[in-house]
Amino acid sequence: MSSRAVVIAPSLLAADFSRVGEEIRKAETAGADWLHLDVMDGHFVPNISFGLPVAEAARRATSLFLDTHLMIEDPLTYGPQFAAAGSDRVIFHIEACEPPEGRVKWPRGWALAGEPTAAGLRRGREIAAAIRKTGKAAGIALNPETPAEAVLALVPDVDLILVMSVWPGFGGQAFIDGVVPKIAELRRGAPGLRIEMDGGITPATIGACARAGADAFVAGTAVFRQPDPAAAVRALREQAG
């Protein structure tokens, strides 16, 4: 388990978009530490969510730390733009660094079979540097079937690793238990970084992730879709220990 304080980051993707400002204030009142923004382009993942205008609006609406997760094919172009739009951290996928011929296509998305190629690693470092040049933090994400070793070479270039515990693209999916051992591998290889979990995080799944070494948790439906979001955040924090 990490010695860092647990962070709960409600995902705006699960909010009611007819009243986004109210939903963000609800997350603040509930005790959220960060606000998580899931950006999807319809290419890297089979869905489209929202873009720069929503990130800019979220920045105007809150002083919460904006944790932006780019599930897109071109993070080099758009990573710095989301940083300039007000994101405090921009997270990109290791799979998006690799050319399509170097990826493994699964029914639900992309994965790497092991370490990235030299070209993929160079691109990952280039993306992280471009984000950091704006003065904001960079993070690296990996999909459920991508092994831990795929991102460990980028540890010096980022301040957070995001582990997908569902296939990215849609909210409300069930947690994939098989990712838990990967958390412990990442914690051993990146003892100084935040490790964030995204997908299917509930009071029933958060404890195993925390015990394995994760210390930041994205929760969408488990917060925004609950009758008492404050109680939901407390329950998550308590179960994470």
What's the whole-number mean pLDDT along residues 83-109?
95
In this predicted structure, the answer to whether residue 135 has a pLDDT above a threshold of 90 is yes
**CA gap 72, 86 in Å, rounded:** 18
Cβ atoms of 76 and 126 within 8 Å: the answer is yes
**In the prediction, which pLDDT does 91 show?**
99
- The secondary structure of the chain, three-state, reads CCCCCCEEEEEHHHCCHHHHHHHHHHHHHHCCCEEEEEEEECCCCCCECCCHHHHHHHHHHCCCEEEEEEECCCHHHHHHHHHHCCCCEEEEEHHHHCCHHHCEEECCEEECCCCCCHHHHHHHHHHHHHHHHCCCEEEEEECCCCCHHHCHHHHHHCCEEEEECCCCCCCCCCCCHHHHHHHHHHHHHCCCCEEEEECCCCCCCHHHHHHHCCCEEEECHHHHCCCCHHHHHHHHHHHHC
Cβ atoms of 51 and 39 within 8 Å: the answer is yes
**In the prediction, which pLDDT does 3 show?**
64
**CA gap 128, 92 in Å, rounded:** 8
What's the whole-number mean pLDDT along residues 147-171?
95
20-79, pLDDT tens digit by residue?
A: 999 999 999 999 999 999 999 999 999 999 999 999 999 999 999 999 999 999 999 999
What's the whole-number mean pLDDT along residues 160-165?
98
First to last CA, the chain: 9
Confidence of residue 231 (pLDDT cuts 50, 70, 90): very high
**In the prediction, which pLDDT does 1 show?**
61
Domains parsed from the chain with CATH numbers: 7-240 (3.20.20.70)
Task: Identify any residues that bridge with 92 across adjacent strands, giving them in sequence order.
Answer: 140
In this predicted structure, the answer to whether residue 119 has a pLDDT above a threshold of 80 is yes
In this predicted structure, the answer to whether residue 2 has a pLDDT above a threshold of 80 is no
What are the residue numbers of the active site? 38, 198
**In the prediction, which pLDDT does 227 show?**
94
**In the prediction, which pLDDT does 169 show?**
84
187-226, pLDDT tens digit by residue?
A: 999 999 999 999 999 999 999 999 999 999 999 999 999 9
What's the whole-number mean pLDDT along residues 83-107?
96
In this predicted structure, the answer to whether residue 170 has a pLDDT above a threshold of 80 is no
